[in-house]
Amino acid sequence: MNFFLTIILDGLIQASWLFIVALGLTLVFGVLKILNIAHGSFYALGAYIAATAVTMVAARGLPPSVGFVAMLLSVALIASAVGLLLERGLLKMFYGRNEVVLLLVTYAVFLILEDVTKLIWGVNPIYATQPYELFGNLEFAGLYYVGYDLVLIPISAVVGLAIWFGLNRTVIGKIVLAVIHNEEMSVSMGVRVNRVYAIAFAFGVLLAALAGALTAPKISMQPGLSSDVIILSFAIVVIGGLGSVEGAAVGAILVGLARAASVHLMPQAELFMIYLIMAAVLMFRPEGLFKRETARRI
């Protein structure tokens, strides 16, 4: 019994931060119809900014709790600004073009951000471990878990619920949903679509950066961080259905549990298991688990 509880808990911890990254990716795709290759770079950017904030706070002798708050605030501010700047300054120039062009533009942004992070933070691993000790350790199913890892689960649940509530129960959310479902009709009803695009993209960047910030205290930040994350995030949104919040949640949980189960039961199949699930879903539900099939407009 304890063994299965361990798998579930490990899977949920893994799913927690992956869900936040995938949520940003699926939001941007849902609204802007962009497969954002640079999404992993925003995750890395968030991690680096968080590490800088934590290090600065620690250097002033302040407690880790202040570092935790500082890293979240700094990431929120900088990531939102970067998101708005990129959408207004670059992406909007390519709206209406072929989707492949936008894909290539985000790929270019990915390459640029990779080098920008190297330029600012260098190539050596960076650590910001102080907040990792903030919540102590807990014993569960016969094993010790770091409290910080466990706290990530409710944080991601709150973030997911907030996004779902914002989209489905607020006026702004309903406007965003209207743009997702029918952009032309939204324009004819007086919706400022460009503003919705900017807000959605900034939110997407913010979510990726937030996930980066939350994982920063337990990892070593180094070049290459972004590419692994983007591959897993794509797998999650493909499983859940591009543009679906519920899909991102279920996809993240499936990926997290599959990975945890294979590490415990069949370590050699760890990566294969994730893509096996993706292939199985695509075979029976090519649109993903939660994406509704839509009639093609002519």
Partner 1 sequence: MDRSWRTNCAIILATIATTSFTLAAPLSAQETFKLGIVTFLSGPAADSFGVPARNGAQFVIDQLNKGSVPSPYEKVGFGGMKIEPVIIDENGGATKQVQELRNLYQRDNVDVVLGYISSGDCLAVAPIAEELKKMLVLMDCGTPRIFEEAKYNYVFRTAAHAAMDNVGLVRYMKAKNVKMDTLSAINQDYAWGQDSRADFVAAAQQLYPNVKVQTDLLPKFGAGQYGTEISALVGAGSDVVYSSLWGGDLQAFVLQSVPRGLSKRSQLVLSAADHVLPPLGDKMPDGTIIGARGAYGLMSQKSPLNDWLFKGYEAANGVYPVQAAYRITQSILGLKAAVEKAMSKNGGKKPSTDEMVAAMTGLEWPSPGGLIQMKLADGHQAIQPIAISRTKYNPDLKRVELVDIQYFAAECVNPPPGVKSIDWIKGGMQGAKCN
Interacting residue ranges for partner 1, rule: CB under 8 A: 3, 6, 9-11, 13-14, 118, 123-125, 127, 129, 132-133, 137, 142-146, 149, 215, 218-220, 222-225, 228, 259-260, 263-264, 267-268, 270-271
Minimum CB distance to partner 1 smaller for 81 or for 276: 276
What is the token pair recorded at 161?
């619920």
Minimum CB distance to partner 1 smaller for 268 or for 294: 268
Which of these, 248, 259, 258, 256, lies nearest to 289 by C-alpha position?
248
| Cβ atoms 214, 157 nearer than 8 A | no
Give the three-class secondary structure for 288.
coil
Hey, which residues does 140 pair with through a beta bridge?
Answer: 143
At its nearest, how many Å lie between partner 1 and the CB of residue 36?
22
At its nearest, how many Å lie between partner 1 and the CB of residue 3?
7
At its nearest, how many Å lie between partner 1 and the CB of residue 94?
29
| Cβ atoms 39, 208 nearer than 8 A | yes
Q: Half-sphere exposure of residue 280, counting CA atoms within 13 Å on the CB side?
A: 10
Minimum CB distance to partner 1 smaller for 165 or for 272: 272
What is the token pair recorded at 72?
């979240």
Minimum CB distance to partner 1 smaller for 132 or for 203: 132
| Cβ atoms 105, 90 nearer than 8 A | yes
Hey, which residues does 144 pair with through a beta bridge?
Answer: 139
How far is Cα 141 from Cα 199, in angstroms, rounded to an integer? 43
262 sits in which H/E element: helix 245-265
At its nearest, how many Å lie between partner 1 and the CB of residue 125?
4
Minimum CB distance to partner 1 smaller for 13 or for 245: 13
Which of these, 134, 116, 123, lies nearest to 58 by C-alpha position?
134
At its nearest, how many Å lie between partner 1 and the CB of residue 63?
18
At its nearest, how many Å lie between partner 1 and the CB of residue 44?
11
Which of these, 133, 131, 157, lies nearest to 146 by C-alpha position?
133
At its nearest, how many Å lie between partner 1 and the CB of residue 187?
43
